[in-house]
Every structure is written in structure tokens, then in C-alpha cells.
Amino acid sequence: MKSINTILIANRGEIASRVIRTCKKMGITSVAVYADADKNAPFVRQADLAVHIGASEPSQSYLDQDKIIAAAKRTGADAIHPGYGFLSENADFARLCKAEGIIFIGPNPEAIAAMGSKSKAKAMMKRAGVPVVPGYDGEDQSEATLKTEALKIGFPVLLKATAGGGGKGMRIVHEEKEITTAIASAKREAKNAFGDDELLIEKYIASGRHIEFQIFGDQHKHVIHLLERECSIQRRYQKVIEESPSPIMTEALRKSMGDAAVLAAQAMDYDNAGTVEFIYDDTSGAFYFLEINTRLQVEHPVTEAITGLDMVQMQIQSAQGTPLQITQEEVVGNGYAIEARLYAEDAANNYAPVTGKIHNYQFPDVDGLRVESAIESGSEISIFYDPMIAKIIVKDSNRINAHTKLLYVLQQFICQGIVTNLPFLKTLLQHEDFQKGNYNTHFVQEKIDLSQINKISDQQIQEVAIVATLYDWNKREQSRKTLRSLPSGWRNNCYQYQKEVFHIGEQVVQLQYQYVEDGFVFLFEDKERKVAMIGIDETTLCIDIDGLQKTYAVAKVGEDYFVHSPTIGNVKITQEDRFPIKEKEKVSGGYESPIPSQVVKINIQSGDAIKEGDPLIVLSSMKMENVLVANQDGKVEEIYVAEGQNVEAGFLLLKINEE
Ligand code: ADP
């Protein structure tokens, strides 16, 4: 048994912070590695040592195996924790660590390799007696065979990339006539994402729940499970909310699924932390193996909350050869835990990732709340990485209490500067079916009306406009006082009615206000509101509107005010007279970047003749690739960008002469 003294964390953001915390607890020196974009990130400061490893693109930093090994050597790290994503499920990297005499904190490379292919993993599980989804996972990839096999399974079927992950390369096929196109597009996406276009076919479980079991093994052939997590609340096949225990779990089902999870792990001599994912068929009550993730999961805090275990500590112990310190019987779930993932994305705009600066970022102090965060006030969200910015975990004695508490936390949470999925999360939590535990993996798509999630009432819009007006009024008042050294106290001033016009999203608010004896009167189209100023400083404003006193968090940046209140959420409001006149000329035949992105590949050259549907430029933003295709036949007149260039939303990329 070798004792680990220094751990290099080959990752970034919240998971790097998470690992560093356990290192400190165990008296182990922690080393962060960071790319350009992360220079000011909290995890870099939190580590005992930090090494800059290169440019922001993951391929030049977090995915560069040689740079990471060199950083480990330089800092005397005797172990590497890969976190999740990046190199965490790369068997070659695990082997390289071993060859370099560095402990890889994760399972043995053979186990990682065995799970690298979904079809090989399924075959292995079938042999071990673990139930798998009926389907085809053979080597013959001809269209004819794939078609025949799909017919044999019976529609609907699901096509999956065998090398897949993150929902890429998956296609649901409902009937025979869709299959040819679906095979072609799934293969194309798989080839692009994983460099491998092999597919497998599965029976599509129409009403399925994603239930996974946390497993843990040591190097002495002991394997246990640490209970389940239900992760059916997904968007684009990716989890947004995870909870444990699962609302549908019974002792008998937990026993049979838990046994199957342990059997799956034993079949591959598993050591360290892993997750066995199952799909549970709501209609029949059967469950099937989906895959094993051979790493720590994003949602591991849910398991930590109910078991009281520190899974990173267990990982470190397992990697240095310590036998498991706990038996299956000793694993006891206590209470209930839920995790919500906060993303920098606009759910109402098809979950488009969002970049920008967060000016003010504050969580309330609530018992049982754990926040795993990548950022802090002042952080920039860049285009280079995954848009997840925090995980919000709440634990309580039962499901209802924990849901109430999580909703309270989300309401109190101040996050000013960029759009996040916060309104989406609040909507999810308040949905009756979710509260009843009555959901499957289609819940988000079928039950959440995205067009409604950002809506605020007219009354709330007025409230926000009042806050912005008074915040600005106070600012002017302050500067006037310092300039003219008038006696302090705004009560001495007298005003005529002032007019203001604000914009919130698409909506326009017009108001008039006047200072009166003991406060202000605001006139809106339909009503008058009496406002008293209670207190104000740089970031908060406490006012009484029509007899109800509330505190608002305010940040002003340029013409924009960011206003937060627990009942309204985080809102951006813009004052009209300072409203930028963005009369951007639309170039005919011009193609613009839809979101802030990096130009990954340019498929065309100036002068090329192109056909409608031709892929022109591949853009990448926050791990997602976006292919810009020609919407008409024509000729490329000019290209304004180069590969590798970063562009803002709306940036003109190229111009086509349409024929
Ligand atoms: P990935 O590795 O890309 O995440 P998974 O195999 O883990 O792919 O599946 C991701 C999600 O897709 C699951 O959580 C589930 O919602 C859905 N899914 C996977 N297989 C099936 C299936 N056979 N039937 C219905 N839904 C499925």
C-alpha cells in the first residue's frame, strides 16, 4: 500500500474545488492545473499549488496528457484525480499515469476500456447475467443489417453511438420509413463527435426512468453499492435534477437493482467509484443496464448527503490500495437529498448556452444546503467549457421538506449579469407531477412550457422599474450632494413629475414619478403606487411599495440594471434614453454567429459554388458544436473569420452571393 501525499487535479471548476476540499481534509497537498480562461477561477486559488498549462481550448490544456504529466512531475504529485469529463474515462491516460509511476485515482484501465464501447459493455453484462435492453449490438454495420435488426426488435427503437456519451448520436426511430435517414444522421453525428460511427440499436422504452446506482470497489475484489439516484429529469438526454431516494423505490426493487449493479461491477473487477445506470420501464416494472460511468459523477453529492460518506476520500483510499472501510450492511440512507444543476443557458431559447460576466452571485445561508460552485461574483463565463456553473444540493428529513427548502434557496439566490436556467429550475420544482414523483425521462419535454418560464406579471414589472428608478435617483442625488455640498438628506428636495421608459425583454414600461412629503408617488398607465425609501447602498435597495416592504439586490452595468427579489427572481431592465441604438445592418446573404463561439472548421473557400444544405462553418460553444449550413444555392463571396477565431453573437462570418 502506497500512501498518497500530493494530488494533481486534472480538471477545472466546481469538481476541482470539490477534490481540493477533501485533499485539505486529509492533509494531502493539492495541485491545480489551469488554462488561460481559468486564470482567475476560484479553484486555482484554493489549491496549494497551481500550474498554468496552456491555452483555453481543452485540447491545448485539460486534454493534453503530456502537459498534465509534466505538471505532476514538476510538483511532485504522486497521484492524479481526473474529476469527470476531460481525461476521466480515458484508459490510455490511466495507463500513461501508471507507466509514469503516478497513481490514477479511478478504476483500473481495463475496466475503463471495457466500458468505452457501449456494445462491448452490453455484451459483457449479458454474459454476466445483468439485464440489458433488448437490441442489436453486432459488428455488422451495413444499412441492410441495421434495418433488419430494427424490424426484428420492433419500433420504436433507439439508435446509439457505441462510442457515445452525453446523448450524442442518439436517435429515436418511430417507424420503418424513418430508419434510413436516422441511421445516416446518427452515424454522421457519432463520427463527428467520437471519430467512430458504429451504432447499436435498442428497444426504445417509451416510459422510462433513469435510475442509477453508485458503486464502489477496492483493489481486493470487494464491491458494494451506495444506493440509488433518480436522474430522469433531463433535457437533451442530460440530467438537470437528481434525487435520492427515487420516488418509486421499494425495498424489493432496491435489492434487485442494487444486486444487479454489484454483479455488473464484479463482472469487470471494478475498483474505485463508478455508476451503473439503468433504465426502468414504468409500464412493465422491468429494469435494464444502460452503461457504467467509470468515474465520479456530477451528482455524487446526492449520495454523500444521504449516506454521510465522503466519496472523494473513498476514491483516494481505494486508489492507494486501502480495503473498503464499510460493508454493504453498513450503507444506510438517511433522509432525502436533491441536486439542481445551475447552467449558464437560456432554457426558453432552446437551452442555448450563454456567456458573459456575473456581477453579483450570492446564495442564502440555509441549513442543509451545499453549493458546489465553479464561480463567484465577478467571474466570466467563457465559451470554452461546459455551461454548468453550480450544483445546488439540499438535504432534509423527507422529500417534501427538501423540495420546499430547495425552492426557497433558488428564490433567494442572487445571480446578476447573465441568463441562467434558474427560472426553469423553479418551474420544474413547482410542477405538481414532479412534486408527486410522477415523471419519466420525457417530463421536461412534455410537461414544461418553456415559453412561460421567464414570464413575470405586470405588477412585478412595475416593481422592477420602481427599483431601477430609485436606484438611479439615489445615485444622481449622491453626486449632486458631493458636487454642490448641499445639506444631506434627500427629503429636502422637491421635484416635478419625471418620466422614465424601461425595457424588460420585449416589454416596455412607462412611468412617471414625483417626490412627495414622505416618499414617492409612481404613476403607471393604470395605477398609482406609493413608495417609501427605507434604505439604500451600492448593492441593495429596501423600499416599501403600497405598504409592503422588501429588499432588492441591484447591480448597474452600463444601461442595464440587474434587479433581484425572491418573488421576482433575477431580472434585467434597461433604461430607454440610454438604450443603445443597435441599427445593425443585416447583410444580404450574410451568415452570423448565433451565439458567442469559436470557429472550429471552415469547409469552404472564397469563390466556391455551394448548394443549399452544404455545411459551411463549424462553430463550437461550451462543448456543443453547431454546423452552419447554406440556406440557398450560391457562391461564397467573402469569409471574414479564420479557424480558431473567437466571435461574439451576431458576428458576420461570411457572405454568399445568392443565385
Ligand atoms: P449517454 O452515454 O449518451 O448518456 P445513455 O445510454 O446513458 O447515453 O442514455 C442517456 C439517456 O437516454 C438515458 O438517461 C435515458 O433517458 C435515455 N435512454 C437511453 N437508452 C434508452 C432506451 N433504450 N429507451 C429509452 N430511453 C433511453
Residue 480 is a catalytic residue: no
- Write out the E strands in 424-536: 498-504, 507-516, 519-523, 528-536
Name the closest-CA residue to atom 22, ligand 1.
204
Pick the catalytic residue: 295, 341, 480, 484? Answer: 295
Contacts of residue 352, defined as CB under 8 A and 6 or more positions apart, other chains included, come to 345, 346, 594, 595
Enter the DSSP assignment of 179.
Answer: H
Architecture of domain 590-657: Beta Barrel (2.40)
Domain 134-203 fold: Dna Ligase; domain 1 (3.30.1490)
C-alpha closest to that of 53 among 41, 45, 43, 63: 63
Return the residue matching grid coordinates 497551481.
50
> By mean pLDDT, which of 94-103, 269-278, 556-565, 639-648 is the weakest?
639-648
Residue of 117, 119, 213, 441 best suited for mutating to test ligand 1, as the one with most atoms within 8 Å of CB? 441
Q: Ligand 1 within 6 A of 279 CB?
A: yes
The CA angle 9-11-12, to the nearest 5 degrees, is 115
For residues 91-116, average pLDDT: 97
The one-letter code for the residue type at 600 is V
User: Terminus-to-terminus CA distance in the chain, angstroms?
Assistant: 72
What is the SS3 assignment for 89? coil
Contacts of residue 459, defined as CB under 8 A and 6 or more positions apart, other chains included, come to none
Return the residue matching grid coordinates 455551461.
387
CATH code of the region 6-105 = 3.40.50.20
pLDDT of the residue at 582: 47
Return the residue matching grid coordinates 448548394.
611
What ranges do the domains of the chain cover? 6-105, 134-203, 208-449, 458-480+494-575, 590-657
For residue range 602-636, what is the model confidence (pLDDT) as tens digits?
989 989 999 888 889 988 887 777 788 888 889 99
Task: Report d(CA 292, CA 141) in Å as an integer.
Answer: 24
Q: Ligand 1 within 6 A of 169 CB?
A: no
Residue of 84, 173, 210, 294 best suited for mutating to test ligand 1, as the one with most atoms within 8 Å of CB? 210
What pTM was computed for the model? 0.89
Task: Report d(CA 466, CA 488) in Å as an integer.
Answer: 23
Contacts of residue 179, defined as CB under 8 A and 6 or more positions apart, other chains included, come to 146, 147, 150, 173
pLDDT of the residue at 612: 85
- Answer whether 195's CB lies under 8 Å from 184's CB: no
State the number of CA atoms in the 13 A half-sphere of 391 facing the CB: 22
Q: How many CB atoms lie within 10 A of CB 250?
A: 10
C-alpha closest to that of 244 among 338, 367, 372: 338
Contacts of residue 648, defined as CB under 8 A and 6 or more positions apart, other chains included, come to 593, 596
- Answer whether 453's CB lies under 8 Å from 424's CB: yes
Residue 107 C-alpha to ligand 1 middle, in angstroms? Answer: 23
pLDDT of the residue at 583: 42
The one-letter code for the residue type at 36 is D
What is the SS3 assignment for 111? helix
Residue 124 C-alpha to ligand 1 middle, in angstroms? Answer: 18
Q: Ligand 1 within 6 A of 116 CB?
A: no
For residue range 444-501, what is the model confidence (pLDDT) as tens digits?
999 999 999 999 999 999 999 999 999 999 988 887 765 554 433 444 445 578 899 9
pLDDT of the residue at 650: 79
- Answer whether 218's CB lies under 8 Å from 199's CB: no
**498 Cα distance to chain centroid:** 43
Residue of 290, 299, 440 best suited for mutating to test ligand 1, as the one with most atoms within 8 Å of CB? 290
Return the residue matching grid coordinates 426557497.
408
Choices 3.10.310.50, 3.20.20.80, 2.30.29.30, 3.30.700.30: CATH for 458-480+494-575: 3.30.700.30
Residue 530 C-alpha to ligand 1 middle, in angstroms? Answer: 55
Residue 221 C-alpha to ligand 1 middle, in angstroms? Answer: 29
Name the closest-CA residue to atom 2, ligand 1.
165
CATH class given for the domain over 208-449? alpha beta
pLDDT above 70 (res 174) = yes
